[in-house]
Amino acid sequence: MLQTNPFSILAETISPLAMQGFIFAMVILIAAGTVIQMIHHKNLTYFFNNAKKAKLAATKKLGIGEKTSIIAKTTVVDIGTTSELGFGKRRLAHVLGMYGTILFWVSSSVLVFGYTGIGKSNSEFWSLLWHIGAILTCLGGYWFWFFLRVDVSAEAHPWYRIIKADLFVLTLLACATFGLAWSYAQYNGQVGLSFLFLTLFVLANLALFGGVYWSKFAHMFYKPGAAIQKNLAEADGSRDNLPPPADAPEQFGLGIKREEPKHY
């Protein structure tokens, strides 16, 4: 099953052009939802204004090489490994979910556009990546949902409490879960279950990509920009109008360090 392209089997009943059109439609939904959210919440205006303030408050002018180095380091370390979360279970869950999702989405596009349709060969490599991506997404997502959510662990809310901010992770998990279930049912020739899970898979994708405006989906675009801007501000001395760190030693005892954090 892991090396079988589920979209190739689906092409026997649904045109590959329809699948490709669906992917284009999802990309349009992402772009439209992100732009509308940026306009409504004025995120882009905030970033531009903040960049202007930082330029005026800078104590050092960075060259192109320095800026490129900072951006590259931020992309690889801060963004690529979610270093802001520190070391621990929460960071590992996010990394699993992030790279699993990237694998899932990229391999879906490659399989649909490159290996689905009449005369197209099967790619065991990309089919395997598709399944691995979905599995990693489920591992990271369910681990986060059931064991690591701050509002549940720290504020004594039940695990099934759902708010608008949970829309992204839940629809993402639904996509990966129903995608795997559809692939399994289709591979085993279970027509009824295959159709059911395919329908749920499609609906989950519509909810995920169509709900960008209401979910945290667009944060995937904001957070890299914010991280880069923060590190540039540290390097040029503007520091987002914050004072520099004190050189004085700690004088107030262990404080919150007396007990290791359990929920963050």
Q: Identify whether 259 is part of a domain.
A: no
**In this structure, what token pair is assigned to residue 226?**
């914010």
Amino acid 248: pLDDT: 59
Is residue 223 within 8 A of residue 172, CB to CB? The reply is: no
Of 63-72, 184-193, 211-220, minimum mean pLDDT range: 211-220
**In this structure, what token pair is assigned to residue 136?**
């990693």
User: Using CA atoms, how far apart are residues 30 and 43, in angstroms rounded to an integer?
Assistant: 16
Is residue 23 within 8 A of residue 108, CB to CB? The reply is: yes
Residue closest to 175 by CA, chosen among 203, 142, 145: 203
Mean pLDDT across the chain, nearest whole number?
Answer: 79
Q: Identify whether 263 is part of a domain.
A: no
- 17/34: higher pLDDT: 17
Amino acid 255: pLDDT: 60
Q: Identify whether 122 is part of a domain.
A: yes
Angle, vertex CA 127, rays to CA 122 and CA 128, nearest 5: 130
Q: Does 234 score more than 60 pLDDT?
A: yes
Is residue 138 within 8 A of residue 103, CB to CB? The reply is: no
Q: Identify whether 94 is part of a domain.
A: yes
Q: What is the pTM of this model?
A: 0.77
Domain residues for the domain of 23 are 6-236
User: pLDDT-derived band of residue 114, with 50, 70 and 90 as boundaries?
Assistant: confident
Query: Residues 217-235: what's their mean pLDDT?
Result: 73
Alpha helices in 121-243 (DSSP H): 124-143, 150-155, 167-187, 191-210, 219-236
- 72/172: higher pLDDT: 172
**pLDDT for 50-105, tens place per residue?**
767 766 667 777 778 877 888 787 777 777 776 666 667 777 888 888 889 999 99
Structural domain count of the chain: 1
Q: Identify whether 260 is part of a domain.
A: no
User: Using CA atoms, how far apart are residues 110 and 121, in angstroms rounded to an integer?
Assistant: 12
Q: Identify whether 243 is part of a domain.
A: no
Query: Residues 22-51: what's their mean pLDDT?
Result: 79
Residue closest to 94 by CA, chosen among 104, 83, 106: 83
Amino acid 199: pLDDT: 92
Of 152-161, 166-175, 205-214, 239-248, minimum mean pLDDT range: 239-248
Q: Scanning the structure block, which residue is given the tokens 């197209």?
A: 120
Q: Identify whether 250 is part of a domain.
A: no
Q: Identify whether 162 is part of a domain.
A: yes
